[in-house]
Amino acid sequence: MQDARYKMHDVALISSPVDPAYRIQNLAPGIQQPALCHVINSAVTISLVPEARGGPFVFWDGLADGCERAAELGFDAVEVFPRSAGELEARLLKQLLTQQRLKLAALGTGAGWVAHKLRLTDPDAAIRARARDYVAAIVDFAGGFGAPAIIGSMQGRVESGVAREQALAWLREALDDLGPRAQMHGVPLLLEPLNRYETNLINTVADGLALLETLQTKNVKLLCDLFHMNIEEVSVAGALREAGGNVGHVHFADSNRRAVGFGHTDMAPIVQALRDIGYAGYLAAEILPLPDSLTAARQTALAFKKFFPTD
């Protein structure tokens, strides 16, 4: 008998013992069945940053509570947003993940900006150095769990009096330093394009790809957030196809940054695009906890099962 707390990864896929790819069954309407594809897993967010309370994270009441709820709802992993690496307890996190049969999908660095006002493109060289050290510590912590770190809001923005090319040069310098650091742990570094209301630096997948082409390191991938993409991209599915193998992580959110199904995004072509590019990673719910955390998480679980069905 299957455990009631089943994981939502594609257990409906029939695997071959000699082939890492999988065959799909029972896909949602509008999604074509390719001959082979890779496993996509589910994750839900836990914020440990009081200054960001009410923001786009599902669970807010500590690691133990978030991990327990994630497991009860069948998520495969959690994406955690700490105040800093130094305020996380590796032993406790490992214990909770083991106990709840979860993985760490990724670790966010957003508190570097929200709580500490650090940016990798700050005009002040001392602040840029502190920002890089802050991210490096999270890269190392996450890497110890086989997970990547996310650079989103810490990319900063082009400030008045600073040329765009200068800001990009500072960001490029940071990524070329931090990308190889992540590679030492066997994981990529994730760069997240954000919508125009949050940054004026990297807004679109095309912006991200253009920057990646200029890096010396090849260990930086894009985090494609469906909420930001809904604002900035002409076609979300088209942008995912353009990114192809450079997609390293996906934030699973609807048009209004609520749980998928609570907005108006047509998800079928997006799911098809992920299948077509052979994406094999996490879909993480970085969403507003509306109408409340548990309802948002449950809706995400339902949406994931609809588009990535299980037996």
Q: Given 192, 198, 232, 242, which residue is catalytic?
A: 192
Query: Please, what are the averages of pLDDT over each run of 10 residues along the chain (311 residues)?
Result: 46 31 42 60 98 95 98 98 97 98 98 97 98 98 98 96 97 98 98 98 98 98 98 98 98 98 98 96 98 98 92 27
pLDDT value of residue 81? 98
Q: Report CA-CA distances (Å) from 95 to 42, 58, 101, 105.
A: 20, 21, 10, 16
> 234: which DSSP letter?
S
Q: Given 79, 232, 233, 286, which residue is catalytic?
A: 286
Only one residue has tokens 């400030």, namely 159
pLDDT value of residue 23? 30
Nearest 5°: CA angle at 37, between 31 and 38?
120
Q: Which phi and psi angles does 150 have, rounded to 5°?
A: -110, 130
pLDDT value of residue 261? 98
pLDDT value of residue 54? 87
Strand, helix or coil for residue 124: coil
Q: Report CA-CA distances (Å) from 39 to 9, 83, 179, 283.
A: 7, 31, 25, 11
Query: Which pair of tokens denotes residue 69?
Result: 């709820």
pLDDT value of residue 183? 98
Which phi-psi region, left, alpha or beta, contains residue 227 (left: φ > 0; alpha: ψ -120 to 50)?
alpha
Q: Find out whether 168 and 207 touch, Cβ atoms under 8 Å.
A: no
* 233 classed as catalytic: no
Peptide bond into 291 cis (omega under 30): yes
Nearest 5°: CA angle at 293, between 291 and 297?
105
Structural domains in the chain, CATH included, are 40-307 (3.20.20.150)
- The secondary structure element, H or E, covering residue 56 is none
Nearest 5°: CA angle at 190, between 196 and 41?
105
pLDDT value of residue 131? 98
> 141: which DSSP letter?
H
Tell me the pTM: 0.89
Radius of gyration of the chain (CA): 19
* 286 classed as catalytic: yes
Q: Find out whether 59 and 46 touch, Cβ atoms under 8 Å.
A: yes
